[in-house]
Structure 1
Amino acid sequence: MFANLLIILVASLITIALFRRLNLPPLLGYLCVGVLCGPFAAGWISAGGQDMSILAEMGVVFLLFTLGLEFSLPRMLALKSTVFGLGSLQVICTSLPLAALLHLYGLSLAVSLTLAAGLALSSTAIVSKELSSLGEIFTPHGQNAIGVLLFQDLVAVLLLTLLPLISGGSEQAWYVALPLTLGKAVLLFIGLLVASRWLLPRLFHEVAAARSNELFLLMALVIVLLTAWLTHLLGLSMALGAFLAGMLLGESHYRHQIEADIRPFRDVLLGLFFVSVGMLIDLRLFLSHGLTIIALTLLLIAIKGLAVALLVRLRGNTTTVAWRSGLALAQGGEFFFALLAQMQSSTLLDSNLASLLLAAVFCSMSVTPLLLRGAPRLAARLQRRHSGDSSLEAISASGEAQQGHVLICGYGRVGQSIGRFLRRENIPYIALDDDPVRVQEAAAGEDHVHYGDCRRADLLQAMNIAQARLLVVAVDNSEAALQIVEQARRLQAELQILVRTRDDSKLDALLALGANEVVPELLESSLMLASHALVMLGLPESRVQQSMDAVRAGRYRLLHGFYHGGHADLLGQHQQPRTLLHAVTLSAQASACQRSLDELQLEQLGVEIQGIRRHGEELSPAPQLRLQAGDTLLLAGPLVAIESSEAHLLAS
């Protein structure tokens, strides 16, 4: 086991780093590690290790526990119609067409229904992990997906319970086994409910009072593992039990601390789970039956995705939410692997068909992260194709009627706030955003918000940029803002352009491209706090306003850089180096002593001198100023530039 674990960790480290560079989901990297290092490829990892499979299953247990922490009992009660209503309909409406196809293939009715029910279940691990990483757990399509997945976990337990009855290897009748399984689930829920109400809060209070991070972490681990063990003893799904435990602890004051402590274990163990899934795949099967596997994969995704989308739409959700829910649940699930293994051991299924179905389910799981990340654009295209509307024509129709209006690129929180002030002053505007859910929500109450990519010149022209009075770029992406400003300035040379950015990393580039004003959020919030502090200290408001205006006129030079701490992230948005502050004190042997700032030419190294202190007094950094031993220079710039400058100043 030790050698297998070491190989998996090393291979995962290299693969995930490569996938991060390629902007691909880490989950796909773990699957690739399992496929390439498994027994059917390189053979570096041996299959069938009991210890490894337990560790892999613990990853799903930890994932469902942390997911349960987000869904408290009141939230779950509010989702009961989704869990039992949409969940049951999804399993039925997906199983029936799949069972019909399998029965036509030649399988018996009982085996077809069992296999179809297994194929109807989706991947709890993949969907939950991706929705969580994308921050979409509490979106409408995210809650639809989580609700259906919870019902599917219960169905999975029932299927494993009923499988011996189908193969003829059980002495119990189905009408005895089924109520027995449901009774165990109810008993588990009641037991966990009692413990979460009266026992666990007192235990956590005592542990928290000890102020020991180690004790708190051990307590959290014991709860997760104990819950999984009790559930396993009852013959139920360990993941389902972990979710119930997390859900009942979701109302606890300590849930955020529990989640933070559990997360590192969850991510590593979940990686092992995805590696174990990849190890089941034989690459040689793709060479001999590649087209068949692709056809089965597409058929599975189409049937499941369409069934879910139709059900969600019939329940009254929007078309976009329906498509995104369908795309989230269109794959097969990890439970199907366990079901397939038991059916093969009971000689209910031919090995060739089992291998093809296994490969098709694996492929559907592999493309799910990409489907979820591309779901907004894909859902928007499907919706437009369904409705037959042309976004360009709709934008043109809206733009032609406007003159002296404002264009808002990006209709998030900032764009919406600007829009509210414009409406208050009766100033017309048109907004463009590339999030279809946000556009659909906004368009329900406003008739001037449209879907589209703000970087496209034809859409800017359709918004009647030639007659516009002002362009506000409120997108939360510096690279996109640069492209929008460049396109807009090319189309309209006299247009006023106001740009909102996260920080000042692209301030000079935006101004060079033609932006009239650039407002960095972080620096403006710092100015706002500083101005309030000065006014509260008794300084005249006119003097404070004059000081703030001077900082803005100097392009926020006073605020450039910050002192980084031990845990600071030295890379900003889009992995660009942050501007840091660093103080360098000159020793008597420093090469910078008795030299002027003009001679040192520190600007060529990429740093800016923010200030100089000599014997406790502030000096103006004039080019002719000669430095002395004991002087402290305050440097601002990226980490690499600061290190080079410090070496240049101190080298004897």
Structure 2
Amino acid sequence: MNSGFTDVLLLLAIAVVLVWGFRRVKLPAILAYLTAGIIAGPDVTGWIQDPDEYHFIAELGVVLLLFSLGLEFSLPKMIAMRRLVFGLGLGQVVICTVLFAGLAYVFSNDWAAAFVIGGVLALSSTAVVIKQLGESAQLTSKRGQITVATLLFQDIAVVPFLIVIPLLASTAGESSIWANLAIAMGKGAGVVVVLMAIGKWVLPHIFKEIARLRTDELFVLATLLVALVAGGLTHLFGLSMALGAFLAGMMLGESKYKHQLEADIRPFRDILMGLFFITVGMQLDLIVFIENLHWIVLGVLVVGAIKALVVRWLAVRMGERSEDSWGAGLMLFQMGEFGFVLVSLALTYALLPNAVASILVGIGVLGMALTPLVIQRCSPIVNAVLKLVGAAGSNAHDQESLAPKDEHTKVLILGFGRVGQTVSRFLEQEGIDHLAIDHDTRRVQEALAGGAKVFFGDAGRRDILKAVHAEEVELIIISFAEDERALDALRAIRSLNDHAEVIVRSRDDSKLKAMMEAGATQVVPDTLEASLMLVSQILSRTGVPIRRILSRLDHARRSHYGELHGFYPGESTNMDPERIDKLQFLHAVQIPENAYATGRSLRDLGLQDINCMIRSVRRGEQDIKEVDGDFTLEKDDVLLLSGGPRAIEAAESYLLNG
């Protein structure tokens, strides 16, 4: 058997096992890939003797990662949050880079290596932190906003680092650095103009034709080709391939194909990024890592402390509360995935010794491993710090976890997709206390921002059900039409609660007998009409008069299911360009201080002109369901918008940026 094939097979096998194991204990998949690289590398098993053989494929992973980052890059959001992004974010990157570079220069006496180390340690993990913030319901909190704004600027700062690091390797004197940097910036500006022109006038026509043909594989191929051609174009001008991919993503991020492009690129990006992190792990000198473990632990503590102090100082200077400032600084303590990218790039240009690179990778691995725990325990740690410095305790209203604070609910909804959200709306109209569980991170994040009571987790796990007191609930609804998952959830429910009525939604009747035997009280069929039947059963069992139920159902039918239109999208939502115009989304938009809509009335804004309506406005703890044209928006208001995906995007851009 070909040795190259065997090597790849072994890498895939060990990666699958480790990713499964790491995710089971709620650690980031990045750590699993790094561990796989360490095991497969020359210092442990020696399966892969030369990691450079995989360098090109791994670099494609970085290209696709930057392409995805460009797609998600929101210029209106960045402008609306400019005070935090360009105040706090810029200050954090500059100050931390200078401090870390100064410390590194003291030990290395090499300013080029010191600059790389400073840049690597100044960046935090966007992927890990955003995911953990979403899962712990802190994304819309003030400390979450501060954290996201800082991460947004850090992502922007990656681009100049990608330009400067190759220049450091090719420059001997200080004067030539500035000359080369000016030349690189000129080339970069030229490439930006070319790519933006292509993105505005050429690519929309190409993707329109591809979408018209309805050929999925052609759409995927075209997406990959655009990312790689853009990367190749910047490489041709002596710049980083990743920079070109970022620009390509940014120019397509404003198009109507954004969601489909993102969905198509994700599998390739994740697999190739996994291979990239495996190659980083292979480059880790295990002997150096073990011998310097005490320095690595000290490095994590020192880097975390400096970042926390810098973010806290800057945020307080900008008028933020002390507890939010400490919280944001604590969340940004780790080294990020782009740090690994910069370390790999610096190794390629021989700017860092292998021993130093191994220590940096070790600091990154340990920091990422601790991040989920630190974010989950953020409030207690902040409270301890505040007590230490003699400040007041943290705000009790900050959401620390998606789990309710010892909250006992009357109705439990398992699955918060379209049907689950429909059920929730009817229950809310009747004032019936309820709680939902869903395992789609993005959907939970959107729903929480819109004021829904949702708990992130797998509805089939007993520990998750116990966390929401499922053993005491009177009525449980399983709203996802996945029969095997529903059966798992039923068994878990009945192991905790044998008295609750359990109503199950099913796609058809093929598993009806199995569900009834597993403990279902009633099984209800699918489609929108089926969701109305499900609502009638729920309202009946909660004591609502049958005449009122029939009246509500009749009203829903007479309004052509108007109340059922609009749902929170998730990662699994079909964003096909041919179908996207028929969808009606719900999306929560927070109005920052510098947003265009702040201080303006709804009549002045005229959102109806772009086919978008406001379902509700959340102001602090108050949820305002009915608003008229004279209603004036204030900073930190959260608007729940309803409309088509393009109308939602246009409305958000308008509200934030005018």
TM-score band, normalised by the shorter chain? 0.5 to 0.7
Superposed displacement of residue 129, structure 1: 8.9
Find the aligned partners of 2:375 and 2:73 in 1 and give their Cα distance: 24
- Of structures 1 and 2, the larger Rg is shown by 1
Asked if 2 retains the 8 angstrom alpha-carbon contact of 1:131 and 1:142, the reply is no
- Counterpart of 1:201, as a letter, is P
- Counterpart of 2:98, as a letter, is L
Superposed displacement of residue 248, structure 1: 1.3
Say yes or no: does 1:323 pair with 2:322.
Answer: no
- Counterpart of 2:298, as a letter, is A
- Counterpart of 2:378, as a letter, is A
Task: Give the aligned partner of residue 281 of structure 2.
Answer: 278
Find the aligned partners of 1:70 and 1:269 in 2 and give their Cα distance: 19
Task: Give the aligned partner of residue 13 of structure 1.
Answer: 13
Note the residue ranges of structure 2 that are not aligned, 5 or more in a row. 399-406, 481-485, 507-522, 536-545, 554-571, 573-658
Find the aligned partners of 2:117 and 2:99 in 1 and give their Cα distance: 12
Task: Give the aligned partner of residue 93 of structure 1.
Answer: 95
- Counterpart of 2:13, as a letter, is L
Asked if 1 retains the 8 angstrom alpha-carbon contact of 2:423 and 2:531, the reply is no
- Counterpart of 1:341, as a letter, is L
Find the aligned partners of 1:320 and 1:501 in 2 and give their Cα distance: 37
Matching of residues 462-611 of structure 1 within 5 Å: 478-480=461-463, 482-483=465-466, 497-499=474-476, 501-502=478-479, 504-505=486-487, 506-507=489-490, 510=493, 513=497, 515-518=499-502, 520=504, 526=526, 529-530=529-530
Superposed displacement of residue 226, structure 1: 0.4
Distance 1:517 1:277, change over 3 A: same
Say yes or no: does 1:269 pair with 2:269.
Answer: no
Find the aligned partners of 1:305 and 1:524 in 2 and give their Cα distance: 52
Find the aligned partners of 2:8 and 2:167 in 1 and give their Cα distance: 35
Superposed displacement of residue 440, structure 1: 14
Larger relative contact order, structure 1 or 2 (CA cutoff 8 Å, min sep 6): 2
Asked if 1 retains the 8 angstrom alpha-carbon contact of 2:412 and 2:476, the reply is no
Find the aligned partners of 1:387 and 1:525 in 2 and give their Cα distance: 54
Equivalent pairs counted in the alignment come to 490
Find the aligned partners of 1:272 and 1:134 in 2 and give their Cα distance: 29
Asked if 2 retains the 8 angstrom alpha-carbon contact of 1:481 and 1:499, the reply is no
- Counterpart of 1:236, as a letter, is L
**Matched residue SS, 2:202:** helix
Write the deviation string for residues 104-146 of structure 1: whole angstroms up to 9, x where unpaired.
4462667645542443244678778988999999973674354
Task: Give the aligned partner of residue 571 of structure 1.
Answer: none
Matching of residues 428-439 of structure 1 within 5 Å: none
- Counterpart of 1:55, as a letter, is I
Distance 1:287 1:161, change over 3 A: closer
Find the aligned partners of 2:133 and 2:261 in 1 and give their Cα distance: 20
- Counterpart of 1:358, as a letter, is A
Asked if 1 retains the 8 angstrom alpha-carbon contact of 2:411 and 2:475, the reply is no
Find the aligned partners of 2:328 and 2:395 in 1 and give their Cα distance: 23
Find the aligned partners of 1:317 and 1:393 in 2 and give their Cα distance: 16
Task: Give the aligned partner of residue 590 of structure 1.
Answer: none
Write the deviation string for residues 149-172 of structure 1: whole angstroms up to 9, x where unpaired.
32321331343255258643x8x5
Say yes or no: does 1:246 pair with 2:249.
Answer: yes
Find the aligned partners of 1:444 and 1:261 in 2 and give their Cα distance: 27
Which of residues 155, 161, 167 in structure 1 aligns to 2:160?
155
Distance 1:134 1:525, change over 3 A: farther
Task: Give the aligned partner of residue 298 of structure 2.
Answer: 295
Find the aligned partners of 1:76 and 1:408 in 2 and give their Cα distance: 41
Write the deviation string for residues 420-476 of structure 1: whole angstroms up to 9, x where unpaired.
978997x9x99999x9xx999999999xx999x99xxxxxxxxxxxxxxxxxxx996
After the TM superposition, which of the residue ranges 212-221 and 522-531 deviates more from structure 2?
A: 522-531
Distance 1:90 1:478, change over 3 A: same
Write the deviation string for residues 556-576 of structure 1: whole angstroms up to 9, x where unpaired.
xxxxxxxxxxx9xxxxxxxxx
Find the aligned partners of 2:394 and 2:119 in 1 and give their Cα distance: 40
Task: Give the aligned partner of residue 557 of structure 1.
Answer: none
Find the aligned partners of 1:283 and 1:190 in 2 and give their Cα distance: 45
Say yes or no: does 1:34 pair with 2:37.
Answer: yes
Task: Give the aligned partner of residue 200 of structure 2.
Answer: 197
Find the aligned partners of 2:470 and 2:533 in 1 and give their Cα distance: 40
Which of residues 226, 230, 233 in structure 2 aligns to 1:230?
233
Say yes or no: does 1:378 pair with 2:362.
Answer: no
Find the aligned partners of 1:323 and 1:488 in 2 and give their Cα distance: 34
TM-score, length of structure 2 as denominator length: 0.60
Find the aligned partners of 1:276 and 1:116 in 2 and give their Cα distance: 22
**Matched residue SS, 1:261:** helix
Superposed displacement of residue 230, structure 1: 0.9
Distance 1:207 1:430, change over 3 A: closer
Say yes or no: does 1:60 pair with 2:59.
Answer: no
Task: Give the aligned partner of residue 221 of structure 2.
Answer: 218
Find the aligned partners of 1:324 and 1:409 in 2 and give their Cα distance: 35
Asked if 2 retains the 8 angstrom alpha-carbon contact of 1:83 and 1:147, the reply is yes
Q: Percent same amino acid at aligned positions?
A: 31
Task: Give the aligned partner of residue 109 of structure 2.
Answer: 107
Task: Give the aligned partner of residue 364 of structure 1.
Answer: 363
Distance 1:33 1:125, change over 3 A: same
Distance 1:514 1:94, change over 3 A: same
Task: Give the aligned partner of residue 341 of structure 1.
Answer: 347
Superposed displacement of residue 278, structure 1: 0.4
Write the deviation string for residues 589-618 of structure 1: whole angstroms up to 9, x where unpaired.
xxxxxxxxxxxxxxxxxxxxxxxxxxxxxx
Superposed displacement of residue 487, structure 1: 9.2
Asked if 1 retains the 8 angstrom alpha-carbon contact of 2:410 and 2:474, the reply is no
- Counterpart of 1:304, as a letter, is K
**Matched residue SS, 2:251:** helix
Find the aligned partners of 1:110 and 1:488 in 2 and give their Cα distance: 61
Find the aligned partners of 1:3 and 1:136 in 2 and give their Cα distance: 48
Superposed displacement of residue 89, structure 1: 1.2
Superposed displacement of residue 286, structure 1: 3.2
Find the aligned partners of 1:25 and 1:439 in 2 and give their Cα distance: 19
Find the aligned partners of 1:277 and 1:113 in 2 and give their Cα distance: 20
Distance 1:239 1:329, change over 3 A: farther
**Matched residue SS, 1:272:** helix
Write the deviation string for residues 357-405 of structure 1: whole angstroms up to 9, x where unpaired.
323321232245434433541222223334558899999xxxxxxxxx9
Distance 1:118 1:163, change over 3 A: farther
Matching of residues 350-429 of structure 1 within 5 Å: 351=353, 355=355, 357-386=356-385
Task: Give the aligned partner of residue 575 of structure 2.
Answer: none
Asked if 1 retains the 8 angstrom alpha-carbon contact of 2:93 and 2:123, the reply is yes
Task: Give the aligned partner of residue 589 of structure 2.
Answer: none
Find the aligned partners of 2:260 and 2:448 in 1 and give their Cα distance: 39
Find the aligned partners of 1:312 and 1:4 in 2 and give their Cα distance: 51
Superposed displacement of residue 303, structure 1: 2.4
Asked if 1 retains the 8 angstrom alpha-carbon contact of 2:61 and 2:270, the reply is yes
Asked if 2 retains the 8 angstrom alpha-carbon contact of 1:34 and 1:276, the reply is yes
Asked if 1 retains the 8 angstrom alpha-carbon contact of 2:147 and 2:331, the reply is no
Distance 1:159 1:128, change over 3 A: farther
TM-score, length of structure 1 as denominator length: 0.60
Task: Give the aligned partner of residue 626 of structure 1.
Answer: none
Cα RMSD (Å) of the superposition? Answer: 5.4
**Matched residue SS, 2:377:** helix
Superposed displacement of residue 209, structure 1: 2.9
Distance 1:167 1:79, change over 3 A: farther
- Counterpart of 2:192, as a letter, is F
Find the aligned partners of 1:179 and 1:478 in 2 and give their Cα distance: 57
Asked if 2 retains the 8 angstrom alpha-carbon contact of 1:72 and 1:249, the reply is no
Write the deviation string for residues 327-354 of structure 1: whole angstroms up to 9, x where unpaired.
3462161244246537856xxx7x5xx6
Find the aligned partners of 2:477 and 2:284 in 1 and give their Cα distance: 48
Superposed displacement of residue 223, structure 1: 0.5
